[in-house]
């Protein structure tokens, strides 16, 4: 029995209604990433210094998040939210049947989305960098692959935000606010 349960058992103070789920690094990472992604996307057409700086900053954030996924606190760790395709599909079936459970950390579909976003953003960054190298300078195909990855990422972001909104309504909680404050309802 935890200290909190003991306290309740003893008729003492009630446990806090909300607990810390997202650590500061995850929150700063998230909103910096969203801002930089918008910046990189909107400056892609002329691909000046701003575009390249935003692109490299995103690549840096990806590296940081990957390391944090192994050494960060519980809810930031890949081990706590990356699930097998079978588990993700089972979760999505439960969503369709309106009986998906609530997760304190990322749900299995959210976990799959995070992996997809990280991979797609890394690929966008790598192909962007390739265009600046002698070997691929002016290579049309690299430019097209880069643009395709960027557009596919936009598609993922649309589903990401829809998923966040859907989950917020399904469990009557404001997940966007939680990504700002770091706190979520206990149960």
The torsion defined by the Cα of 73, 79, 85 and 88, in degrees rounded to 10, comes to -40
Of 6-14, 82-90, 93-101, 117-125, the window that binds ligand HEM (rule: CB under 6 A) is: 117-125
Closer by beta carbon to ligand HEM, 93 or else 165: 165
State yes or no: residue 88 binds ligand HEM (CB under 6 A). Answer: no
Q: Mask: binding to ligand HEM, 43-72, rule CB under 6 A, as x and -?
A: -xx-x---xx--xx-xx-----x-------
Angstrom distances, CA of residue 16 to CA of 64, 117, 164, 186? 31, 33, 24, 8
x/- map, 125-164, ligand HEM, by CB under 6 A: x--xx-xx----------x--xx--x------x--xx--x
Q: Which residue in 64, 104, 152, 179 binds ligand HEM (CB under 6 A)?
A: 179
Q: How many residues does the chain have?
A: 187
Whole-angstrom distance, CA of residue 132 vs CA of residue 30: 27
- Whether residue 171 contacts residue 102, with contact meaning beta carbons closer than 8 Å, is answered with yes
């Amino acid at each position: 029995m935890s200290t909190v349960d003991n306290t309740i058992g003893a008729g003492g103070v009630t446990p806090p209604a909300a607990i810390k789920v997202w650590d500061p690094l995850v929150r700063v990472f998230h909103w910096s990433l969203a801002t930089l992604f918008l910046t990189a996307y909107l400056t892609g057409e002329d691909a000046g210094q701003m575009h390249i700086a935003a692109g490299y900053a995103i690549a840096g954030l990806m590296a940081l998040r990957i390391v944090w996924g192994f050494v960060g606190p519980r809810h930031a760790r890949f081990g706590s939210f990356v699930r097998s395709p079978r588990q993700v599909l089972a979760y999505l079936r439960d969503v369709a049947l309106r009986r998906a459970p609530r997760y304190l950390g990322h749900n299995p579909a959210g976990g799959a989305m995070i992996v997809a976003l990280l991979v797609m953003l890394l690929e966008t960054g790598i192909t962007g960098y390739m265009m600046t190298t002698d070997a691929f300078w002016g290579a049309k195909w690299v430019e097209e692959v880069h643009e395709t990855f960027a557009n596919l990422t936009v598609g993922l972001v649309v589903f990401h935000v829809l998923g966040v909104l859907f989950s917020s309504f399904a469990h009557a909680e404001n997940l966007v606010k939680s990504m700002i404050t770091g706190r979520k309802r206990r149960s």
